Amino acid sequence: MKKFIFIAFILVLTAGGWRYYTGETKTKVVTLCNTCPPGFERTDDNRCRFRSLYQMYETKDGNNPGVGGLKTALPAVRDGFTPQQIDLGRYLFFDPALSADGTISCASCHQPDKGFSDGLPTSVGIKHTSLKRAAPSLWNVAFNKRFFWDARASTLEEQMTGPLYSPEEMGTTPEQLHNTLNNLPAYRDLFRQAFPQKNNDRIELSEVYTCIAAFEATLISLNSRYDQYAHGYAEALTKNEIEGLNIFRSFVARCTECHTPPLFTNQQVAVIGLAEPDHTFDVGAAKTFHDPTLKGAFKVPSLRNAALTAPYTHSGRFEKLEDMIAFYTKGRGHEVPPTEKLRIHWHIWEPHLRHDEIDRLADFIHTLTDESFKPQTPEWLPSGIKMETKQPGNSLSLNQP
């Protein structure tokens, strides 16, 4: 009598592609997604290219938008990654295996539900280390020319090596990260899928950086109610919000001179004269550019999804948008410590906004909220580390199996 071995299997379509489970071996195999994220078009050569109504506009080249009108072009975008590289980057972004002790991931400080920030005045690194600055949002980093609050990195790949190899943040080393990933069979298989031209299954660090950059470059937020208004739908904003937009663009408030549409940042560094919470002055971009006139200068953050990313500034000074706005109306340099001599940016002056005008500005900034392209958090990680999401308002919890 012939004997047949029956192995049951279940085929499940997940956000990361097809995954199958075999009943005999309990092996978990993932096929990376072969479609591009929302907002991207897959080309014939398997590349994801960004598409937006803003690409219809021809205001110069988008890299010098002036003070940014409603129909201002975007600067150059970082795109052209494959769907598989983007999906693998998603797994890497959420996986604490990339840290020295397997307890912290990129998503620990850049949480999707908190505007890809973490809701803390300053972030917390490995072994609960208190860091010196807040975690900036990652929305629309595909358009950024400089990274970090002090603008010390010029590419996404350069930026990510900072937290990965910082002893206070993720605490790993290039050697440890390389060995960790190469010792995980699931990752070796995924990297073969993401880089099919490889003739071996050895994971290279450059491939890790490429995939994380690919994922981060798809974090696009350009479909807010403001954007609908900018593209011609006049009823997208309320009367108060339109009033706030007019104040925002006025020569009294002058907000657009730094927070320039459509990204709502001019991507420059500026000295605005903030006092530090712990009285230890942060020199900011002066160290990056070796320029003493930039002492206390930090990157102008985008206001997109700002309603989700409190507290505000590099040191988490302000809990509310209204308090952040009020800082600018209290007088040029009013917080500068008497022991410091700063060259305050020339855009900073004394607009003397009324309370109702501050409220209208806050109303308008809320219209910049858009999470429609927020990616799905993986339900499974290739490292085998289990991830659980706590109640809203708390951090991601990562537990060893």
Return the DSSP state at 192. Answer: H
- pLDDT band at residue 384 under the 50/70/90 scheme: very high
Name residue 388's amino acid. E
Which pLDDT score is estimated for 60?
Answer: 53
pLDDT per residue as tens digits for the range 258-286: 999 999 999 999 999 998 887 789 999 99
The string over 11-47, giving b where at least 16 C-beta atoms fall within 10 Å of a residue's C-beta and e elsewhere, is eeeeebbebeeeeeeeeeebbbbeebbebbeeeeeeb
- Backbone angles phi and psi of 398, in degrees to 5: -120, 120
Which pLDDT score is estimated for 64?
Answer: 63
Domains belonging to the chain, first-starting first, are: 1-31 (no CATH), 40-221 (1.10.760.10), 225-366 (1.10.760.10)
CA distance 254 to 270: 14
pLDDT of 128 > 50? The answer is: yes
DSSP string computed for 51-90 = --GGGG--STTSS--TT--TTPPP--------HHHHHHHH
Which pLDDT score is estimated for 6?
Answer: 33
Contact 65, 52 (CB under 8 A): no
Which pLDDT score is estimated for 58?
Answer: 74
Which pLDDT score is estimated for 401?
Answer: 35
Mean pLDDT for 309-333 is: 94
CA atoms within 13 A on the CB side of 191: 25
Work out the percent of the chain whose per-residue pLDDT is above 90: 77
Mean pLDDT for 313-335 is: 93
CA distance 313 to 121: 9
pLDDT per residue as tens digits for the range 62-117: 566 566 688 999 999 999 999 999 999 999 999 999 999 999 999 999 999 999 99
pLDDT of 355 > 50? The answer is: yes
Which pLDDT score is estimated for 392?
Answer: 34
pTM of whole model > 0.75? yes
Higher pLDDT, 153 or 397: 153
- pLDDT band at residue 318 under the 50/70/90 scheme: very high
CA distance 23 to 375: 30
Which pLDDT score is estimated for 7?
Answer: 32
Which pLDDT score is estimated for 80?
Answer: 98
What are the angstrom distances between the C-alpha of 280 and each of 266, 274, 276, 360?
28, 12, 6, 34
Mean pLDDT for 277-303 is: 94
Which pLDDT score is estimated for 66?
Answer: 61
Which pLDDT score is estimated for 184?
Answer: 97
Contact 322, 359 (CB under 8 A): yes
pLDDT of 13 > 60? The answer is: no
pLDDT of 397 > 60? The answer is: no
pLDDT per residue as tens digits for the range 172-228: 999 999 999 999 999 999 999 999 999 898 999 999 999 999 999 999 999 999 999
The string over 275-301, giving b where at least 16 C-beta atoms fall within 10 Å of a residue's C-beta and e elsewhere, is ebeeeebbebbbebeeeeebbbbbbbb
Average pLDDT, the chain: 89
Which pLDDT score is estimated for 338?
Answer: 85
List the structure tokens of 195.
Answer: 């880089």
Higher pLDDT, 386 or 13: 386
- pLDDT band at residue 59 under the 50/70/90 scheme: low
